[in-house]
Structure 1
Amino acid sequence: MNLFRKKNIAELIRGTEGNSLKKTLGAMDLVLLGIGCIIGTGIFVLTGVAAAKYAGPGIMLSFVLSGLACAFAALAYAELASMVPVTGSAYTFAYVAIGEVVAFAVGWALICEYTIGSAAIAAGWSGYMVGLLKSAGIALPTAWTAVPADGGILNVPSVVIIAFLTYLLILGTRESASLNKILVFIKLGCIGFFLLVATPHINPVNWQPFLPYGLGGVAAGAAIVFFAYIGFDTVSTAVEECKNPNRDIPIGIVGSLVVATILYIAVAAVLTGVVPYSTLNNSEPVAFALRAIGMNFGSALVALGAICGITTVLLVFMYGQTRIFLAMARDGMIPQSLVKIHPKYGTPHIITMIAGCVVATLSGLLPINIIAELCNMGTLFAFVIVSIGVWVLRSTQPDLPRPFRCPAVKVIVPFAVLLCSYLITNLPVETLAFFGCWCVIGMVVYFTYSRKNSAMVSKNTNISQKG
């Protein structure tokens, strides 16, 4: 049995008939969707942690390096997304370009990324919310705000936010996108406020030494803050719900990445200029910097922006997770009974509810010790495969319609693969070991279930019977 059997693009599109998603999103919706996921935990938490522990003021260069790797991968994503207007992102692209077993591996990696990432982000949202309520004089009992390992019974705030966002995603993508717009504008306003009031307090002495950990620290910092960029690839999961995917998907992917990169570098520069980088290793570096210059009200305002920011990240992570599940279920990689579109809301409600329950359980009962590097590993792996996929399709099917073409493909694609692979080598050994174990489990699932139940098997059987 051919492990590298590929999907035909025309057949993929026909395969969505009867359970296709509503087309409700435009270019601006997609840009804001990307920004909603990119700008959140990274800018409000990881910027300070990576500066203090890895790169110092050179964290600005770390963001440039990670942003460059993402930019190259983004152009590859944009080409494939415009060619294959079907949900599934890197999983679907790999199925078309390389073959089924590689596609399954990518999808399995993305499931890990989105599930663990969503649970960790929900736990972080809970922490910010509990802290904000405490500053307002409302102290919630530890029993209901901490997991059992931390002396609590259930992390109720994280379960509540997961339940609310799950319900919102079931109602429809348009409703979710509307909330995302509101929250994105709030958090962008808070970031703009921080830059406006903190910039005059920059002391250039804090930028010395600029590279306290050397260039190696910049590379290690880039591998860490790469988590901050996770999100632009989620835009490609919305391709099936886009009104004009050929034009809007490239705009959404590249546009959200450009805006996020500029803001990340600006915030990193101001943070490390206002306070010594060694003091930024805390859960709220932006609010901390404002308190350090005596702006307590501004600190509270930024904390509110952080909650909005983390909410949008969680919303888009959960959205992307369900779309990956949907694509894999359609192909028989997981039970096809999960592929049911709600007759009224036009959303994959069963998959959404299942995913929401799993994430709520993880965030409510278990300590989330898997740090950002694990999510980075799954994403970097997907980026490498997507970039290779562009090259493969250019060689094997050069005449396929390409509404958006990756420029200088002979330069962009190799650089995307090399930069992403370089960042992988800078991840901790424990992360690589965990990812390896996860992939082994995935291959067991593939060879015991998915390969036998693949939609490609049914297709080949029907062809043989007709013959």
Structure 2
Amino acid sequence: MSSGGIGRYFKKESLDRYLLKDAQLEKTMDGKDLVMLGVGAVIGTGIFILPGTVAALYSGPGIVLSFILATIVCAFAAMCYAEFSSSIPVAGSAYSYGNIVFGEVIGWILGWALILEYMLAVAAVSTGWSAYFLSFLRGFGISIPKALTGPFDPAHGTYFNLFAIVIVLFVSFIISKGAKTSIAVNNMIVIIKILIIFLFIIVGLFYVRPSNWSPFLPYGTHGVLKGASLVFYAYLGFDVVSASAAEVKNPKKNMPFGIIGTLIICTILYIAVAGVLTGMTSYTKLNVSDPVSFALQLVHQNWAAGIISIGALAGMFTMMVSMIFSSSRLIYSIGRDGLLPKALGKIEKKHRTPQVSLAAVTIVIAIMGGLVSLDRLTQLVNIGTLIAFTFISIGIIPLRKRKDIDNTGGFKVPFYPVLPIVSAGLCIFMLSQLPLDTWIVSSIWFLFGLVIYFTYGSRHSTLNKK
């Protein structure tokens, strides 16, 4: 090995090697596809739930301001991601960026954080999709044996969640057919989802009463800030756009367009839904599991409430497409570098996709979604994402100092270095708001990850074998 001691764990990867390896992936995506991928990940069931429950408990009609504040925090991190993906158009998102600007062990930690984010998020969404689908079937008088409707819990009569497993396998099957096919399916369903959101906004506008917006800040500014910290997590997922950078045509132009475009469209949709929802009915009535459907039923528009449930299914489906697509590219990137078994870093020639990493991701997510109760674990998604956001924000500073990386004509974060530092500070503040038990469980996850790195990853690392 060319360097010994602790220094070898902080060796930095070269951009040229990543570009050479990732050239096997097919470049099929443009800016529109990236926006659709991002909107698919960010707009899930949350848009039909969060604006109502957060307004009822914390923000009142001021929920609109909460979304604006959360957008500002996310926009700072999004701009940092946009510069990275414009400068370093490779697969693996924050994992690969970390390897290049901080060194291998930091890249591994960021990759391990993203594995936590992607896989837990998809497993949790698959169980939500299953619950919605079961209620949809019950509407037609179709019942499924209880044993097949929940995680392994014989005491309560459930053994595995059949539809959670089936939907994960189905999504993975689509993705296995290549980026072009999976993106085409994703784009079509995202358009359906957006049309259903527009349906709610248009129908709801006819029933808005301005008196419902008064008082606008019933819980004061503190309520708006608390609401912002909660709805912030509705935006998590835009970072999946950067994971697909190696499969994008003209990444310098299209990557920033995809990331920032995702944030703008999602912000407009969230604010519009929140404004109409709190205008249709008093915020005090919205602390229910399905506030958007509830508000439509209050004004006797049950037909629209039924369509919203289809929108929720579509929202969860596209989120799973985006997240499974991105997590397969993440695992491929780690296998490409030898930190996980190298078979995971292989590209299948027919569809030019990482089929082995896709299969590995599918098996893990299907087991988690089908057999494990995820209620307490979903908060870990937040910590994994925010750690990645923090490093990517501060990473702009060493990125700008790299002489071997040319970002001429690409996106650059404005107000450098102030904005990246402020972005990192805001992310650290958000991390400080997470509950103690989340920190304890995530610490165990990261310790486990470091054990894998030091016992396997660093010994098989392509970088350290040079």
The 1-side partners of 2:340 and 2:219 are apart by 46
Change (3 A) 1:256 1:399: closer
- Residue in 1 that maps onto 2:132: 128
Question: Which has the larger displacement, 248-257 or 135-144?
Answer: 135-144
Residues 120 and 378 in structure 2, CA contact (< 8 A), matched pair in contact too: no
Among 55, 60, 63, the residue aligned to 1:56: 60
Kindly report which structure 2 residues correspond to 1:407-426, keeping only aligned pairs within 5 A, or say none: 407-426=414-433
Q: What SS class does the counterpart of residue 417 from structure 2 fall into? A: helix
Residues 336 and 346 in structure 2, CA contact (< 8 A), matched pair in contact too: no
Among 208, 219, 227, the residue aligned to 1:221: 227
Change (3 A) 1:338 1:211: same
Tell me whether 1:321 sits opposite 2:327 in the alignment.
yes
Among 120, 142, 147, the residue aligned to 1:143: 147
In structure 2, give the amino acid aligned to 1:21.
L
Shift of 1:14: 2.2
- Residue in 2 that maps onto 1:464: none
- Residue in 2 that maps onto 1:454: 461
- Residue in 1 that maps onto 2:349: 343
The 1-side partners of 2:245 and 2:403 are apart by 22
Among 44, 48, 53, the residue aligned to 2:48: 44
- Residue in 2 that maps onto 1:253: 259
- Residue in 2 that maps onto 1:462: none
Shift of 1:31: 0.9
Shift of 1:116: 0.8
Shift of 1:398: 9.3
Change (3 A) 1:345 1:241: same
Among 161, 185, 206, the residue aligned to 2:191: 185
In structure 1, give the amino acid aligned to 2:63.
I
Residues 11 and 103 in structure 2, CA contact (< 8 A), matched pair in contact too: yes
Question: Which has the larger displacement, 108-117 or 449-458?
Answer: 449-458
Q: CA RMSD in A?
A: 1.8
Residues 34 and 232 in structure 1, CA contact (< 8 A), matched pair in contact too: yes
- Residue in 2 that maps onto 1:312: 318
Cα displacement string for residues 32-61 of structure 1 (whole angstroms, at most 9, x for unaligned residues)? 111111111221233333333333333222
Among all aligned residue pairs of Structure 1 and Structure 2, give the percentage whose two residues are the same amino acid: 40
The 1-side partners of 2:403 and 2:53 are apart by 45
Change (3 A) 1:183 1:399: closer
Cα displacement string for residues 345-368 of structure 1 (whole angstroms, at most 9, x for unaligned residues)? 111111111111111111111211
Kindly report which structure 2 residues correspond to 1:84-103, keeping only aligned pairs within 5 A, or say none: 84-103=88-107
Shift of 1:115: 0.9
In structure 2, give the amino acid aligned to 1:64.
I
The 1-side partners of 2:458 and 2:284 are apart by 51
Cα displacement string for residues 197-226 of structure 1 (whole angstroms, at most 9, x for unaligned residues)? 112322334334433444343333323222
Consecutive unaligned residues of structure 2, counting only runs of 5 or more, are none
Tell me whether 1:365 sits opposite 2:371 in the alignment.
yes
The 1-side partners of 2:465 and 2:348 are apart by 25
Tell me whether 1:199 sits opposite 2:199 in the alignment.
no
Number of equivalences: 457
In structure 2, give the amino acid aligned to 1:7.
E
Residues 125 and 307 in structure 1, CA contact (< 8 A), matched pair in contact too: yes
In structure 2, give the amino acid aligned to 1:432.
W
Residues 30 and 252 in structure 1, CA contact (< 8 A), matched pair in contact too: yes
Residues 144 and 154 in structure 1, CA contact (< 8 A), matched pair in contact too: yes
Q: What SS class does the counterpart of residue 12 from structure 1 fall into? A: helix
Residues 334 and 345 in structure 2, CA contact (< 8 A), matched pair in contact too: no
TM-score (norm 2): 0.94
Q: What SS class does the counterpart of residue 259 from structure 1 fall into? A: helix
The 2-side partners of 1:314 and 1:288 are apart by 26
Tell me whether 1:77 sits opposite 2:108 in the alignment.
no
In structure 2, give the amino acid aligned to 1:165.
V
